[in-house]
Amino acid sequence: MREQLAIEGGKPVITDALPTIKNASGRLFGQEEKQAVLEVMEEGILCYTYGQRVRRFEREFAGLMGANHAVAVSSGTAALHTAMVYLNPDPGDEILVPPITDMGTVIAILLQQAVPVFVDIDPLNQNMDPAEIEQHISSRTKAILPVHIYGSPADMDPIMEIARKRDLFVIEDCAQAHLTKYKGRLVGTIGDMGCFSFQQSKHITTGDGGMVISNRDSEFGRELRLCFDKGWPRHKHVRDHYFLAPNYHMTELQAAVGIAQLAKYPACIERRRESAFLLRDLLAEEDAIRPPGTLPDCEETYFHYCFTFDRSRMLVDGEQIVASLNAEGLECELGYPGTVPLYMYPMIRDKKTYGSSGWPFDSPAARRIWSYDEGLCPEAEKACRRTVVLPWNEGLTEEHVNLIAAAIRKVFSAYKAAGDADGPLVADAAGCWPAADQRKRHTEGLENV
């Protein structure tokens, strides 16, 4: 007889709270951050314009990334919007973006009156599929905005090749991919600009906050610093405003925390990777589960630990699986950014933007009237229904991961249909799926949603 699940009244596997990013238990906060904030208060300079700490945080972040420029801003969404202000599209111009990301990615596009054009994902890693890009390029396309989702890099080589050939700008959304490596290079330094978030759930945090990095020279586009500072050339010591731009200053308090957090980056990444690899190994025999897929020669940094399951081997759907995992004491959700891709939320589907105008989806400036219906990106829609999203953090120990694996195994063995198994999938030690047959098996059998 199978073990009684907690959702049916059985005993939950996890009874004590696991570490979480929602408080200090899952974060690397210490005396350093506390001291840094106190120093700012004692000096009495809280604002970026008069202080030195935001500048120092920018310099140190740029140094770590090997980027020519870094500007700190108030959020990840602000970072992406700052990049859009720099790009300066005409209203109705088009930006290619994946539908599996945080809404902040798309908000940045809409705030600049540009149109998000959704490119379907590669089911392996749920990032923008390079093979799907060219069919969406038009005379109005200005940029490609790949997102490195869950800490796993998008396939940047083919994306950059298309962008160079078609003269498009590339903005990388690295909000979930701090220190993620694509073939030896840090993400954020491959495209024209990279955007980061320091919101509380990201790898390092300033509460809220963000950063834009670039290796371009400042001759291209508008000067980056003006793009989040009211178009104001403060270095000229006169009041002037060159163009429309928001105020997205980071405060000195946030930067003080950010500088202290930078020192903890390596430990954060190492711990997340170590515990994620452990979970992957503990679930290796669970053949209805597909572990996170990473491209060859890449390093994933595990913002979330997301696995997909083979619906054809399960007796119940994703909602039931997740509800059962929750009952076992494991915090997780079905799908990211939810059970549907972004374009099915009212903001986009119902064009809830500027008054009743429907801008920019439905405006004289746009090339056509844009609509976003179910079926637009079939792979993304399927992924949202078969992905279990476990929030990950650097506070997880071996003991915690053992409990997480036990909860998952309990639920999956209770709900798994009898039948032939192919045997487990095997990734290499770095968590990548190098072989084509392994890659194929990672995604097949997932059609039956």
How far is it, in rounded angstroms, from Cα 295 to Cα 124?
A: 8
Q: Measured from the CB of residue 59, what is the shortest distance to ligand PLP in angstroms?
A: 21
Q: Measured from the CB of residue 29, what is the shortest distance to ligand PLP in angstroms?
A: 18
199 binds ligand PLP (CB under 6 A): yes
Q: Measured from the CB of residue 337, what is the shortest distance to ligand PLP in angstroms?
A: 9
Residue listed under structure tokens 């009211």: 230
99 binds ligand PLP (CB under 6 A): no
Q: Which residues contact 37 (CB under 8 A, 6 or more apart)?
A: 253, 256, 257
Q: Can you state the angle between helices 252-262 and 31-43, rounded to 10 degrees?
A: 150
Strand 169-173 and strand 141-144: pairing?
parallel
Among 147, 190, 288, 289, binds ligand PLP (CB under 6 A): 147
Instruction: Print burial letters for 185-205: b (CB count within 10 Å at least 16), e (below 16).
Output: ebbbbbbbbbbbbbbebbbbb
Among 98, 99, 151, 210, binds ligand PLP (CB under 6 A): 210
Q: Which residues contact 74 (CB under 8 A, 6 or more apart)?
A: 208, 209, 210, 248, 249, 250
Q: Total residues at the site for ligand PLP (CB under 6 A)?
A: 15
Interacting positions 56-75 with ligand PLP (CB under 6 A): 75
Which one is catalytic: 11, 34, 165, 202?
A: 202
101 binds ligand PLP (CB under 6 A): yes
76 binds ligand PLP (CB under 6 A): yes
Distance, CA of 243 to chain centre: 30
202 is catalytic: yes
104 binds ligand PLP (CB under 6 A): yes
The helix/strand/coil state of 207 is strand
191 binds ligand PLP (CB under 6 A): no
102 binds ligand PLP (CB under 6 A): yes
How far is it, in rounded angstroms, from Cα 446 to Cα 123?
A: 9
Closer of 81 and 416 to ligand PLP (Cβ): 81
Task: Output the residue with the shortest Cβ distance to ligand PLP.
Answer: 76
**Which positions touch ligand PLP (CB under 6 A)?**
75-77, 101-102, 104-105, 147, 173, 175-176, 197, 199, 208, 210
